Amino acid sequence: MIAIGLFLVLSFFCVLQLCLPKETRFVDQSALKTEAFSAGENVLFDGIFLGFGTYRVEVFYTAENDYIADIYLRDNTVFTGGLKSNGETLYKTKSSTDFMVWLYEPTEQMEVIGFYKGSGALQIQGVRFTETHHMWTQLLAIFVACGVLVYLGITYHYVWRESLSREKKIVLWGIGLITLFSSFFQLADGALNSIDLMFHYMRIEGVKDGLASGQIPVRIDPEWLYGQGYACSIFYCNLFLLFPALLRLLGFTVVTASHVFFVVLNLATAIVAYRCFEKIFGSFKVGLACSALYTLSTYRIYKLYQTGDVGEGIALLFFPLIVYGYFRVFGENPEEKGYKTAWIALAIGYAGLMQTHILTCEVALLLTVVILLIFIKKVFQKHVFWELFKGAAVAVLLSLWFLIPCLDYYLTQNIHIKNLAARTIQNTGLTLSHMFFHFWQRGSKTPLGDNGAQFTYPVGVGFVLLVGLAVFLVLWFNGFSADYKEKKQIGLGKVAAVLGVVLLIMSLNVFPWDHLQEMGQVFAALVSSLQFPTRVLGWATVLLVVVFGTALWFFEQKGWNTLVHVGLGVVLFSVLTSTCYMSEHVLDGAGTFHVYHEKGMGAGYVAGGEYLIDGMNPLEYTYENPVAAEEVEIQSWVKGSLRMEITCANKSTQEGYVDVPLVHYRGYQCKDESGLQLEMTSNERRQVRILLPEGYVGTFVVRFVPPIYWRIAEVISLLTAIGFVVYKVKEGER
């Protein structure tokens, strides 16, 4: 209770700090230490006093060229990690720039450094430090979270510990250990140097910037492509990134926000996997073993931490739900009262996939068709069909807020992703030896045709799952006991084994992906969009976990406790040894980087630019001012988030134009101060071009306005979600 009281006092102190006025300190040009810049580091200002807190640092300058210098802070008197900031790059079209700094110790020796690139004139007018509330909102969130955890710990010790059964205690501690083992990466200082992680950090920043600008939901990430906007959120659903984005708005760095998010994701995966497998097999031991195998699977860890594919990593959370949903729909008795809720797991599972990783849905769709064909005799039974229909319909309705804009842009705009059908994937398939990789290690992502398995990542499903498959096949071909042949768990295991083996074959470099791609435009588009044959291994993993669990369940049902304990021992040994190798090889070999905000990542980074309008070269864009036709005078302009207000005059006797530095995605509107709707088109660089009538004089505003049918889709999804929650609550009360 003392600890809870302490956290309450600290939280109240943070609230008081939020109410106090914040410090602003301006250092003008008279204190400038360097006027004649030399290539490399130049101390611009020094001896700056700043107190504990977070600051918005604004630099005022004029520059002749883009990328002329990098501005950042340095203080050798602050303890290691006590100063967090990435600084910012200077561009010629801007007269000022800003970036955030986290300072965890007061200082009187802060330095402002300019790393001059050695080309072009540069003049610094001054720098301003404005204290923000983010340090105190960050600490408030930490104290509240710690208070809740302490309260839960006290409640467990004094209330739950005596009432919980031995099984529930084992499950509680087991899930906690699984989460801990899968979250070792989050204990590292900085972020692992993963392939795609920077892109997903930019997605988090895009959601944060969109929310800060008033976009709900976020459609166009406003600061990407140097403030010209990038439609990543249209095609790559950002629903689950709202959590780390909100942490960013509270003041946490992007690394800290992502670390917390990954821990929560690992915990959620462990819980969902346990609940699904425990329900399928009716055994907490099997459920816990399957949860450990799945959450700590080779493929999942590879995706989350070694490639940094956050989207697919989140999608893996929903695989067990879909397996459990089909198990209920096809395995339970349709005449039983509880059968009417079988659709719920399917609805949540498929909605989760659609709203996390659209490419994973491609493999899911293929598997769905195969499963429906396998159980075709049951599909058209009244109760079964109705459960399948409800699951599919609710999944689509829940996802409609994302699907409508995504399909709208895909069908009406020439997005670059539509023109990637020529990309072949067979050369990135695996060799058979990859299937047996068990220990995580550093590697490369080079096409396997270049060097075979040498120097590659461990991308397979792991040796332990193949052992489980082998044991299950031995049981299958030797004939299960007569009492168990018709058990629905055995049937599930057989289907999972067959589909799992097929998916393993599809991931190999001998599978004829290139020939499939040559069968027509539809096949070419589908195969190319898959990107890598290894994408099928997520589904192979969950299916082989089912197979492993089926073998354990059979041993338990037969009373072969020795084999059950051997199986559990294999799982434990797998978890411990793999985690040790993870710590040694990955943490030691991967290297880390430190980014705290979007300024440290570069506003021009758009990965492969899949969501740009086709024909755009992202290397040709930078921070830009509006550009007018020859006889059009721009008198003033103000740029905001996906918005620009321009006052201009067309002095010619012909139609003129103004090019606005915003990518011309569908949804932009232009009205002047009198309410006149000005005609809009695209220039040769796919930016917004406003057409001005002869003699036009006035002020117009260009801004992004989502179409009304997008809003209707959002309302439908929201109402569906509310109805779904109400239904679940009522079901729980019965």
Task: Give a three-class secondary structure readout of 328-392.
Answer: HHHHCCCCCHHHHHCHHHHHHHHHHHHCCCHHHHHHHHHHHHHHHHHCHHHHCCHHHHHHHHHHH
CA dist 370 and 372 (Å) reads 5
Note whether 229 and 704 are within 8 A (CB). yes
For 628-698, where are the alpha helices, taking DSSP H only? none
Residue 25: is its pLDDT beyond 80? yes
Q: Which amino acid is at 304?
A: L
CA dist 547 and 575 (Å) reads 18
For 582-628, where are the alpha helices, taking DSSP H only? 588-590
Give the residue among 335, 274, 280 at the shortest CA–CA distance from 487.
280
User: pLDDT confidence of 208, banded at 50, 70, 90?
Assistant: very high
Q: What is the pLDDT of residues 234-266, one digit of tens each?
A: 999 999 999 999 999 998 988 889 999 999 999
Q: How far is the CA of 269 from the CAs of 295, 317, 472, 634, in angstroms?
A: 6, 5, 25, 55
CA dist 688 and 174 (Å) reads 55
Note whether 574 and 438 are within 8 A (CB). yes
Q: What is the DSSP string of 437-469?
A: --S----B---HHHHTTTTB---S--HHHHHHH
Average pLDDT (382-409) is 93
Which domains, from first to last, does the chain contain?
1-21+136-163 (no CATH), 23-132 (2.60.120.260), 173-382+428-599 (no CATH), 624-709 (2.60.40)
Give the residue among 293, 294, 283 at the shortest CA–CA distance from 559.
283
Give the residue among 488, 278, 521, 231 at the shortest CA–CA distance from 375.
488
Partner residues linked to 637 by β-bridges: 646
Note whether 39 and 103 are within 8 A (CB). no
What pTM value is reported for the model? 0.90
% the chain with pLDDT above 70: 92
| Range with the poorest average pLDDT among 117-131, 217-231, 253-267, 440-454 | 440-454
Residue 277: is its pLDDT beyond 90? yes
CB atoms within 10 A of CB 46: 15
- Tally the C-alpha atoms within 13 A of residue 26's C-alpha that lie toward its C-beta: 7
| Range with the poorest average pLDDT among 9-13, 49-53, 93-97 | 9-13
Note whether 694 and 650 are within 8 A (CB). yes
Q: CA-CA-CA-CA torsion for 222, 358, 313, 572, nearest 10 degrees?
A: 170
Torsion 213-219-220-221 (CA) sign: positive
Q: What is the pLDDT of residues 582-612, one digit of tens each?
A: 665 555 656 667 777 777 777 777 877 888 9
Neighbour order of strands in the sheet with 24-28: 24-28, 122-132, 53-63, 96-103, 83-84
Note whether 229 and 278 are within 8 A (CB). no
